[in-house]
A and B are shown apart, each in its own frame.
Chain A
């Protein structure tokens, strides 16, 4: 196979699979709580800064994973209790509150680290030969880990008792509560879980991104478009949505430039809102 084509295909797969990890956290929270967490991208950003912090302390890169999970879990708990739970019945206000939270987190990080772009060194240097194409090892590893993560979570969601409970609550929260499923606790855990997933994605992506306080914006918008295109509430939708948005953006950006990639994605999202408001795979 043509090495340039192979590289491009691998880039698309990388883009799609890492995007899917970020969206998964947002989608699970939205599915279960009906809360569109606009600060989701900021949890990715905090994850990335954890990686930066760990490297600045000369600790091994992997130490960033528990740190990011801890920081975002605590943050998620506090946010769920103070912001999300009081607003369960007011989805529009939740949107506003989490948007305010996203500003708060962004400004807080900026107050500590400033606006400068930080770089995180890649923990795995070198490249691997994939069908004749020289591909960076870290990206390849990331792709594999992301796919495994999404697949594992899907499997767990379908098979485990907790997954079944979550699906029950998504379907009918009142009935789920009346048969003894602890809805409040489940909602809290799910929110924290979503935040942690974002943080994990942030750690993993940190070496490949210009780490700065506004990094989350890009992710929340892209994730939102994925949900628009794929439809809310199904995993097939999530993956196909990530495929369309991540795929189109990386292809267009590769051939033209980033502004065009961004514009194309935006136009696709608007067209979907217009012509297929429930996405490719609507919740039935």
Chain B
């Protein structure tokens, strides 16, 4: 907190003194690039934090500029401007949020799809602005837009931009350090794990995109009164491209990178464009080189060193709030799940062919079967990762066929994957926090620094069982394979699920670690009164843990029973020995 205040004071002082140092002309030029910088900050959020790249950010900048320009022309000197101008800045945010929900809902992959859709939208926005003469003024745009009432000279304009930039920077600095920022970086690392921790991925990404829309909106809304002119180019792909280049060259993952990029390159461009005819080509080449070799950008060399100076981890002093109980599904009868004649098909291969499986009380159950029996697919079908062709799935007594993983996680289904699925570039502490926040944190918890200090009895117990988990400042990706397995398991456990799906939790573990994991599973299962289902090949593991075993073969349930019953079962033997069943 103290560091945050110090940081704010330094930033504000620097921005206040700047015009005295550089003179009026440069202050005016800077004011314009500050507005672009605000929009570029939005690219930093989307691309540098949450990992998806918008290529059409100018449409939001342009939209806000048109809205603000029209408001100023038609309601000059009216008090209505006090509502209209903020509205002009917020409207693009709403639009971005809507587009985000629409696009991210369809496809969870960030890849090229989102980028291309935004690029197409910005071209569309340009076309509309260019051809809708009655409203936008067509090719010539809106001219003679009045300035903001009460502001006259260039220095005033500078201060307006500088204040807007400072407010945006400080807001972003806060969010980046708050839990929200951790969730964003987690999204960039591993979307699947974020969903399975209970976060509705499309909402998170749409919110980030919406926020970036607001930032572009603030820039655009101030652009109109500052420049007194709004043309269709402001929505076009060239400005969109510039915003991305600035963020990339300045350093997309850093706080100040987009600002440094926008101001530095913007001013260089203004200066050199006419002198060097190939300046734009050189700029594109610089961008390519940054993408290839210097992904962290200019500020990437500087900022991390400072961050390390003042970043200290919050001690875990608060017990996390209890998980909200899902209504109407208490009682033992609804503790488990049931698969009824479930069929799953991939391409021309039938993976599950009428699988029936029912578990109706807490306990530890093992799913075994030869490779290709459909064990992992059974988990995938239950968690909505594989489309179910026919049949029904009930979880905790409710129909849950095809229910999305994040909702399942929030009602108490936890899943550990076969290969450790966590956030390698986040610290162990941040990995835990994602597990703790998912399903528990409300929106306001995600913007509060205090939520970094959440703890829980299960986490403390896990840290005493596995001492390496207490070294919370380590990068998760630096842990050994076995340690990552355990970290993921604990991430799932601290969400306190009532149905635990564990896919080969002991794979790659040493014998001592396996023993620890067995004890941890038994302890947690008992404490949470959970239904634990484990896919496992290691028979010692199965023998030691399983209350009951289910044997899958060729997408169907072959047998079920106690360890002794299964060991005596002729059909099971036949399957494992290789005779046809």
A107 touching B284 by the CB < 8 A rule?
yes
A274 in complex: contacting residue of B102, B121, B285, CB < 8 Å: B102
Interface residues on B, range: 35 or more
Interface string of A96-131 (1 = CB under 8 A from B): 110111011001101100000000000000000000
Measured between beta carbons, the chain A residues less than 8 angstroms from B121 are: 266
B128 touching A100 by the CB < 8 A rule?
no
Q: CA of A266 to CA of B127 in the docked complex: distance in angstroms?
A: 13
A277 in complex: contacting residue of B107, B110, B291, CB < 8 Å: B107
Q: Which of B107-123 contact A (CB under 8 A)?
A: 107, 110-113, 115-117, 119-121, 123
Q: CA of A36 to CA of B285 in the docked complex: distance in angstroms?
A: 19
Q: CA of A264 to CA of B107 in the docked complex: distance in angstroms?
A: 20
Q: Is A95 an interface residue (CB 8 A)?
A: yes
Measured between beta carbons, the chain B residues less than 8 angstroms from A258 are: 127
Q: Is A284 an interface residue (CB 8 A)?
A: yes
Q: Is B292 an interface residue (CB 8 A)?
A: yes
Interface string of A239-265 (1 = CB under 8 A from B): 000000000000000000011001100
B424 to chain A, nearest CB (A): 15
Measured between beta carbons, the chain A residues less than 8 angstroms from B123 are: 217, 221, 262
Q: Is B55 an interface residue (CB 8 A)?
A: yes
Interface string of A62-104 (1 = CB under 8 A from B): 0000000000000000000001001100011101110111011
Measured between beta carbons, the chain B residues less than 8 angstroms from A38 are: 112
Majority secondary structure, A binding face = helix
Q: Is A206 an interface residue (CB 8 A)?
A: no
Q: Which residue of B lies closest to A101 (CB)?
A: B288
Measured between beta carbons, the chain A residues less than 8 angstroms from B223 are: none
Q: Which residue of B lies closest to A224 (CB)?
A: B116
A254 to chain B, nearest CB (A): 17
Measured between beta carbons, the chain B residues less than 8 angstroms from A97 are: 288, 291-292
Q: Is A1 an interface residue (CB 8 A)?
A: no
B288 touching A274 by the CB < 8 A rule?
no
Q: Is B278 an interface residue (CB 8 A)?
A: yes
Q: CA of A256 to CA of B105 in the docked complex: distance in angstroms?
A: 31
Q: Is A273 an interface residue (CB 8 A)?
A: yes
Q: CA of A95 to CA of B244 in the docked complex: distance in angstroms?
A: 13
Q: CA of A275 to CA of B102 in the docked complex: distance in angstroms?
A: 11
A228 touching B113 by the CB < 8 A rule?
yes
Q: Which of A25-66 contact B (CB under 8 A)?
A: 36, 38
Measured between beta carbons, the chain B residues less than 8 angstroms from A266 are: 117, 120-121, 124
Q: Is B280 an interface residue (CB 8 A)?
A: yes
A269 touching B117 by the CB < 8 A rule?
yes
Q: Is B53 an interface residue (CB 8 A)?
A: yes
Interface string of B309-329 (1 = CB under 8 A from A): 000000000000000000000
Additional A-B contacts beyond A270-B106, A275-B106 (15; CB < 8 A): A99-B115, A100-B285, A103-B241, A107-B283, A111-B281, A217-B237, A224-B112, A228-B113, A259-B124, A259-B128, A262-B123, A266-B120, A270-B102, A274-B102, A277-B107
Query: Could you list some 8 contacts between A and B, CB below 8 A?
Result: A92-B110, A95-B53, A96-B291, A101-B284, A104-B288, A110-B280, A266-B117, A269-B117
